[in-house]
Amino acid sequence: MEASLQIAAKMKLDRDLAKAVLYQGNVSLGIFEENRHMKRTISDLAEAAGLARYLPPKRYRLAGELLDHHYVVVKKSVELWMLKAVGSETPIVLSVTLDGWDSASKTHVLGVMAVSRRGAAHVQNKKNLN
């Protein structure tokens, strides 16, 4: 039982760290591999919180599994936001912005974001298979 709680707590910490890195935008996905002080500090804090032998996620996991997790979470949120916007009595004026990057598997990904006075919403990612 305790082992499964440790695994769940480590997964939550991995996801929280990924969110912090991914939402920052200008942080290397290899921050925990490249900066030994950051890695050690996070490991020490995790150990102090009861997560023995915690190692922060590596670049490939941040750009893969953890990015995919946050994409699904954000996509659901955006879909609800867009449904509410469509049903709104007040028309919403949107601007569309684009940004591209490469995933850990070297697949080019194009992110599309809708921006309005009410805020920004990430619309979708499209993988370029070329």
Geometric angle at alpha carbon 58, from 53 and 40, rounded to 5°: 45
Q: What is the pTM of this model?
A: 0.66
**CA gap 55, 69 in Å, rounded:** 19
Write the DSSP symbol of residue 63: I
Count of residues in the chain: 130
pLDDT for 129 equals: 38
Written as tens digits, the pLDDT of the chain (130 aa) is 677 888 999 999 999 999 888 877 778 888 998 999 999 999 999 999 999 889 999 999 998 899 888 888 877 777 777 777 666 666 666 666 667 666 666 666 666 677 776 666 655 555 443 4
Look up the domain containing 43 and give its range: 1-57
Structural element, H or E, at residue 125? strand 119-128
Distances (CA, A) of 76 to 10, 94, 109: 24, 19, 19
Name which of 56, 70, 54, 81 is nearest 103 in CA terms.
Answer: 70
Is there a single domain that holds both residue 81 and residue 125? yes
Is there a single domain that holds both residue 66 and residue 105? yes
pLDDT for 128 equals: 45
Final residue of a structural domain among 16, 39, 57: 57
Q: How many domains are contained in the chain? A: 2
pLDDT for 115 equals: 73
Is there a single domain that holds both residue 77 and residue 53? no
Is there a single domain that holds both residue 66 and residue 89? yes
Tokens for 44?
A: 């020490």
pLDDT for 17 equals: 94
pLDDT for 39 equals: 94
Is there a single domain that holds both residue 70 and residue 40? no
Is there a single domain that holds both residue 79 and residue 32? no
Give SS3 for 53: coil
